[in-house]
Amino acid sequence: MTPYLSIEALTVSYGATRVLDQVSLSVQRGEMIALLGSSGCGKTTLLRSIAGFVMPDSGAIRVAGKEITRLPPEARETAMMFQSYALWPHMSVADNIGYGLRMRNWKKDAIAARVAEMLKLLQLDGFGPRPVTQLSGGQRQRVALGRALAVDPHLLLLDEPMSNLDYKVRIELRHELRALQQRIGITAVYVTHDREEALTLADRIAVIDAGRIVQIGAPEEIFHRPTSAFVAGFMGADNALDVTRAGDGALAAIGPDSAPDQRIRVHFRSDAARLAPANATDAPGSATNAHALGDLVLTGVVAQSVYVGQGFRYRVRTDDADIWVHASERVAEGTPTCVVVPRDALLLFPTNQPRSP
């Protein structure tokens, strides 16, 4: 299937610093793809390159088969929603939504009809005359989205549009935005550093590190089957330690192809681990029994206890590393314990795996 948006070997430099390095990406019509990565990884530069605000050193950008790499922003038929929303504070809601249409010399009646359509679509009926300075953060976000959609763009580009919202509002608007995008069928590229946001919104996620896409796939694939230690850590499997495969029954039979005595990196999520009594017994659920079943077992001491509402988060100091574990029961700091991780929850990578391919 021919992609609707095609990015081919895109390279962008700021002075002597290469920000994007031979990035290639394909997006199908009607798909929402999330560009996920930490600050400075290049995700916003990629978005701004698609919008036309950044000119690449080399590479090509095509939309519906048409190359737009060197076109000015106004000729690309894209719309960008900024992190700050960039609304005009002296204008009403209706005037903000209709701004792009006035710039395109639409007639007043056509603008009014399109603005009314956007207000209804975004559940802002009756808000047209209101100054945007009198709106809540969530309402301003909807106005910014309405302004972007009003011009009927080929591509909707969103640069961390929910980062300034309260957590509760952010959760609600994620679902609203996803439902709206699917209902109107627009192709969208969404930049975020929030993995939960990417998992909630996107059809596919492209994880970016140091100017390169290091993995791309469906949300469940990225979450459950990361291809590198970097992606595993970024997607929440941030417990990590280096071990020798032959030194543990859980690791000897699985993992990357390597010599039995080769060191490998193990990642796992804190909610996949559990605490077990430090005293060795053969009772079900004990550390001894878990080790016999091939689970990873680490002995240590509870160094820190944090209540997180739905249980406790413990930092357990072991000989190999400090490990974070979720548990429902209260355990006093200083208590000897064992951390047990089921074999199928372990993510294994070579210790010499490069940070970015």
161-189 pLDDT tens trace: 887 777 887 888 888 888 888 888 999 99
pLDDT of residue 32 exceeding 80, the answer is yes
Residue 150, in any domain of the structure: yes
* 110/167 same-domain check: yes
Last residue of some domain: 181, 200, 232? 232
Count: domains in the chain: 2
Residue 294 or residue 50, greater confidence? 50
Last residue of some domain: 211, 232, 253? 232
Residue 198, in any domain of the structure: yes
Share of the chain above pLDDT 70, in %: 89
* 54/154 same-domain check: yes
* 170/273 same-domain check: no
* 305/246 same-domain check: yes
* 17/100 same-domain check: yes
Distance between first and last Cα of the chain: 26
Residue 259, in any domain of the structure: yes
pLDDT of residue 234 exceeding 90, the answer is yes
- Average the pLDDT over each of 43-57, 78-92, 210-224, 309-323 and give the range with the smallest value: 78-92
* 299/337 same-domain check: yes
pLDDT of residue 28 exceeding 90, the answer is yes
CB 296 within 8 A of CB 346: yes
Share of the chain above pLDDT 90, in %: 54
* 261/228 same-domain check: no
At residue 71, φ and ψ (nearest 5 deg) are: -75, 150
Range of the domain at 305: 238-350
* Residue 333's CATH number: 2.40.50.140
pLDDT per position as a tens digit, 236-293: 999 998 877 554 544 544 444 555 566 788 999 999 999 988 765 554 455 555 554 5
CB 84 within 8 A of CB 164: yes
Mean pLDDT of all residues belonging to the chain: 86
**Which of the four pLDDT bands, split at 50, 70 and 90, describes residue 310?**
confident
Residue 171 or residue 206, greater confidence? 206
* 224/243 same-domain check: no
* 108/151 same-domain check: yes
Residue 355, in any domain of the structure: no
* 265/199 same-domain check: no
Return the SS3 of 83.
Answer: coil
Question: Could you tell me which of 210, 198, 272, 197 has the C-alpha nearest to residue 237?
Answer: 272
Last residue of some domain: 232, 252, 285? 232
